[in-house]
Every structure is written in structure tokens, then in C-alpha cells.
Amino acid sequence: MMVKKAAVLLVGTVFVVACSQRSSPSSPSATALGTSSQSTSAGSASQSVGSALHAQGTGRVGFGFNGTVSGFPTGKVFLTGGGAFDRVANLVQSGGGFRCLDEDILQGPLSISINPNDPGPCRAGEGVRWDTAALLPSTTFKCTGAGTETLKTAVTSDKTVVLQADFYRASNGNEESFTAKIIVSDGDIASADFPGANLWVEKVGCGTALVNFNQ
């Protein structure tokens, strides 16, 4: 039964990404994001998900998504990927591709490299992949950072996941370039201010993404 569920998750994630690429011609292509190292990472992640979450039963939630976020003064980020998590066991394995678009990101964690050998922000056109550093129970967030915007809260559930994610630039290889929180949800995360927003990257902003959650 778990083998069948894993197969459904993988097929669902591929379907989500493929559909979004067809419907979002402005998004970076699969070729741009699909490096060999990313493929290897995805394969390893799938194996880890299968072994670490196999015994978690109904607590295991799979998800996939594809979208773009913006809203803070500078920067726009494209994210795609997915994985699985278990809130009770506090287990997660997820990752995918990312790219900084249009302009450099000059605020927040994506503006400050954690790699001492490659300082500076995520610049337009940079970015290869992301993976998960931790599953978070919740986070507060804003979509624009404006002082007049209401501070909101997202809580990890069966339909929403809050992650601490590591981001990698091609020039840094397997060394993390940045770390930031992300939110992925199958419903509105800021319905009062930004209806339809279901994806967020810390101090970059919110966006509307194609998202799929399943158990």
C-alpha cells in the first residue's frame, strides 16, 4: 500500500510541475532548472522519504508545487518542487528548483549569502535548487513588508507546510548559498490582503502557485 502511495505522490508532483510549465510560459524552463545534480538530489530525496516516512501511516502528507513570488521592494523568485512530511514524527524530505528573476534581491535572507567564500545577494538569473533544513510548526509573515500590512501566521497542517529551506547557486556547488523560510499551501494564506496567494518566500513575497497536497 505504501509503495502505491509513494507512486501516486511522485506522479502527482510530476503532473503539477508539467502542467504549470505548460500554463506559465514566463517561468524558467525545466532545462534551466533541471541540472544533473538536481536530478541526483531528487532521487536521493525520494529514497529518504520512502524509508524515513514509510511507517508513519496516515500522518504522512505529500505535496508538489510550482509558482513565482514577489511583493517586497526588490526581487522575484521562481520555485518548483515537492516532497513529503509527517508533523507527528517531525520528519520532512523535500526539495526542487529555484531561480531569482528579473532583479537582484536586496532585502531579507536571500540578500545575504551564508557562504563566506561567495558573499552577496541572489542576483537575477542565479539559483539552481533548494532542499529542506527543517519542518517548522508555524511562522509569521508579510507579503510586502509594508508597515501598514497586517502580520499574518501560517501553521503547518495537512494542507499547508512551513519549511526552513536551503537555497543553492550553481557557483556554490553543494554548499548552501542562502537559508530562508517558505510556505506552501493548497488554500489562501493571506485572503484578506492578497486573495489567491498560496506560496511565500521569506522577505521576497507571496504568489499564486499550482499546488497539490495528498495523504
- Residue 33: predicted pLDDT: 36
- Residue 34: predicted pLDDT: 37
Q: Which three cell numbers stand for residue 134?
A: 527543517
Q: CA-CA distance, 145 to 73, in Å (whole number)?
A: 8
Q: Which three cell numbers stand for residue 11?
A: 506522479
What's the DSSP call for residue 74?
S
- Residue 58: predicted pLDDT: 61
pTM equals: 0.76
CA 53 to chain CA centroid, Å, is 19
Torsion, Cα 156 11 95 187, to 10 degrees, reads -30
- pLDDT confidence tier of residue 9, bands split at 50, 70 and 90: very low
Q: What is the pLDDT of residues 115-151, one digit of tens each?
A: 998 999 999 999 999 999 999 999 999 999 999 999 9
- Residue listed under C-alpha cell 517586497: 72
The residue among 137 and 16 whose pLDDT is bigger is 137
Average pLDDT over residues 206-214: 97
- pLDDT confidence tier of residue 59, bands split at 50, 70 and 90: confident
- pLDDT confidence tier of residue 211, bands split at 50, 70 and 90: very high
Q: What is the pLDDT of residues 28-53, one digit of tens each?
A: 333 233 333 333 343 444 444 444 55
Q: Which helix (DSSP H) or strand (DSSP E) does residue 14 occupy?
A: helix 2-23
- pLDDT confidence tier of residue 215, bands split at 50, 70 and 90: confident
Q: What is the pLDDT of residues 75-121, one digit of tens each?
A: 999 999 999 999 999 999 999 999 999 999 999 999 999 999 899 99
Strands (E), the chain: 60-71, 76-86, 91-101, 129-136, 138-141, 152-155, 160-168, 178-185, 199-201, 205-207, 209-214
Q: At what angle do helices 36-52 and 2-23 cross, to 10 degrees?
A: 150
Do 21 and 27 form a contact (C-beta atoms < 8 A)? yes
Q: CA-CA distance, 153 to 88, in Å (whole number)?
A: 20
Q: What is the pLDDT of residues 152-201, one digit of tens each?
A: 999 999 999 999 999 999 988 899 999 999 999 999 999 999 999 999 99
